[in-house]
Structure 1
């Protein structure tokens, strides 16, 4: 595989579609990988803790886990390949941190700036980057305004990251299809 041409890869899919496993397989030959876990750590959510445990157990011990939402810092520094899992949880945390849900003044501007910064870092990273995100455009329309807002923001983020990617995959029922 020519890493120069396929340096940035986005893997999309629905919940439990196999997108994370597929993304991990794309980097299986790399001895070292920076695995960026963007999801919040579980407090008292046993189901979320079990999901995290499955992901941790699947990863090679030589991969380093970074639990952060500071994707710009990770993508901007040199190092081994990066696996970002996932942009969906990154966006959820950034929307929280930006004050979108509490209508804080300037929240939309902070969110837009964070998305712009990540898309720019993604496109400009000199590292090999594989990112995972939920494809939300084909699902049920959320019943709440906040659900629709999140779906819309994630759709825009996915489209922008896909545009800045060399390869884009869609995983459905465990079957990857190359979109680009």
Structure 2
């Protein structure tokens, strides 16, 4: 029997990764951590170090900046819980990959196709899978085309994963609210309205 899919979203420094780590660690379960970050500068190195230091040494770690579905396929066979951190970094990696399509719409479809593969792999095992992502569309409209493309694709990725998720948590100021329980379905509005 496949485990559940959980999506944890929020803004930068909202506490979403900490919440997801606590969620994953709850109970005595074997945890696998799939990291998507690539270290290009000292600031990112500090962030990665912070995340590594917070994780228990007993957790298995998979580095997967690309083709994360392969790491996911392996992790869901060996762990009770898989924590994927994070979808927005993974989206950025895919958009900027050397072999990414040059056409904007083709790039978008390539990223969404990679997310489909990732979700398929997540459902192939018995593990609960927790995806962490960022809400990047709350701010102003970015001034350059690549930043706007990233914002748009990240929003589509988040929507896709949320549709498949059994639970979706929004983390703000370190507090998590479960959105699926309080979400309004357009179908319900049409039936009741």
Could you tell me whether the CA contact under 8 Å between 1:6 and 1:166 is conserved in 2?
A: no
Matched, 1:52 2:48: yes
Provide the alpha-carbon RMSD of the alignment.
2.3
Q: Deviations over 1:80-129 (max 9, x none)?
A: 111000001111111122425x559x645533422332233345553210
**How far apart in 1 are the matches of 2:78 and 2:135?**
28
**How far apart in 2 are the matches of 1:148 and 1:175?**
28
1:10 counterpart SS class? strand
Provide runs of 4+ in structure 1 moved above 6 Å.
none
Structure 1 partner of 2:17: 20
**How far apart in 1 are the matches of 2:153 and 2:33?**
24
Structure 2 partner of 1:62: 58
Aligned in 2, Cα 1:145/1:173: closer, same or farther, shift over 3 Å? same
Structure 2 partner of 1:76: 73
Aligned in 2, Cα 1:49/1:63: closer, same or farther, shift over 3 Å? same
Q: Could you list the runs of 5+ residues in structure 1 that have no partner in the other structure? A: none
- Name the stretch that deviates more: 168-177 or 23-32: 23-32
More helix by proportion, 1 or 2? 2
Q: Could you list the runs of 5+ residues in structure 2 that have no partner in the other structure? A: 181-193
TM-score, normalising length: structure 1 = 0.86
How many pairs align? 174
